[in-house]
Amino acid sequence: MFGVNNNGNNNNQIDLKLKTSESKPTRKLELIPMTLLSNLDIKDSIEKIDLGSKSSLEPILNYPFLDEIKSNLEENSEIEKLKKITPKELKILGQKSPGAFLKALLPAALESEKRYGVPIEVTLAQAAIESGWGKSPIGYNIFGMKGSGTAGSIKVNTAEYIHGKKIIVKANFANYHNFYEAVVEHGECFTGNKKYVSAVNQYSKDKNLFNFVDNIAKTYATSPKYGKAIKATIATYNIHNMADEARKASFK
Contact 190, 117 (CB under 8 A): yes
One-letter amino acid for residue 249 of the chain: A
Quick one: the chain helix, strand, coil %, rounded to 5?
Answer: 55, 15, 30
d(CA 31, CA 162): 59
Q: What is the pLDDT, as a whole number, of residue 163?
A: 79
Domain-by-domain residue ranges, the chain?
Answer: 2-63, 73-250
Question: DSSP letters along 183-238, please?
Answer: HHHHHHGGGSSHHHHHHHHHHHHH--HHHHHHHHHHHH-S-TTHHHHHHHHHHHTT
pTM above 0.75, yes or no: no
Other CB atoms within 10 A of residue 58 CB: 12
User: Is 105:183 a contact under the CB 8 Å cutoff?
Assistant: yes
Average pLDDT, the chain: 79
Partner residues linked to 174 by β-bridges: 153
Contact status, residue 223 vs residue 161, Cβ threshold 8 Å? yes
CATH of domain 73-250: 1.10.530.10
Q: Is residue 213 a contact partner of residue 123, using CB atoms and an 8 Å limit?
A: no
Q: How far apart are CA 25 and CA 86, in angstroms?
A: 53
The predicted-structure confidence for 57-90, as pLDDT tens digits, reads as follows 454 445 555 555 455 555 678 899 999 999 999 9
103-142 per-position pLDDT tens digit: 999 999 999 999 999 999 999 999 999 999 999 999 999 9
CB 90 within 8 A of CB 137: yes
pLDDT in tens, 190-216: 998 899 999 999 999 999 999 999 999
Q: How far apart are CA 1 and CA 21, in angstroms?
A: 7
| % residues pLDDT > 70 (the chain) | 70
Q: Taking 90 as the threshold, does the pLDDT of residue 94 lie above it?
A: yes
Residue 233's CB is within 10 A of a number of other CB atoms, namely 21
> How many angstroms separate the first and last alpha carbons of the chain?
24
Q: Residues 36, 29: contact at Cβ < 8 Å?
A: no
